[in-house]
Chains A and B, each alone.
Chain A
């Protein structure tokens, strides 16, 4: 079993599970940071990230996601290549112009690939592969 560890970022003494992932849709890899959010069903990046991946936003499957204030936002799902550490795989990521939070989000769908451990004492988030 392999694992990848990422130290928490810190802001005003609060821990922030922020990690770098690489994304691509056939072109060059782009390293983009995302907040590991166990409260989000989908991984959602803002639509400006879709631009650099040469994704035509509205060609994706449109779904509605509930955000913190209870409202619904439209997201468009696209299959992208993703690399975490040295692991590469494909997954659907949602893109939205209405994300409205300060981070791109890595949601529960990534938990299908990894056992994700928020180790607050060690100040790190650990991605353990299931293999």
Chain B
């Protein structure tokens, strides 16, 4: 597993509390961008000099959405 993938799994609860309802882009162990759409997330990351293939895109559910799913 890539470092970003492990980090997302290990920090999922924190991500929900901080970014619920948004898309985030993660590289290694860092959220490099967050926005309402994945296109914006990628654009922000690219402006920061990050290649889009490096960005792991997660649609972060809200607490309420998690209750509905689970």
Nearest-CB residue, chain B, relative to A37: B69
A11 touches B16 (CB 8 A): yes
How far, in whole Å, are A34 and B12 apart by their CA atoms in the complex?
13
Q: How many residues of A contact B (CB 8 A)?
A: 28
Question: Within the complex, what minimum Cβ distance (angstroms) separates B6 from chain A?
Answer: 8
Name the A residues within 8 Å of B3 (CB-CB). none
B8 touches A9 (CB 8 A): yes
Between-chain CB contacts (< 8 Å), 13 pairs? A6-B1, A9-B9, A9-B12, A11-B16, A11-B66, A20-B5, A30-B57, A31-B56, A46-B59, A48-B23, A48-B39, A51-B37, A101-B61
Name the A residues within 8 Å of B6 (CB-CB). 7
Nearest-CB residue, chain A, relative to B37: A48
| A102 interface residue (CB < 8 Å to B) | yes
Name the B residues within 8 Å of A6 (CB-CB). 1, 9
| B68 interface residue (CB < 8 Å to A) | yes
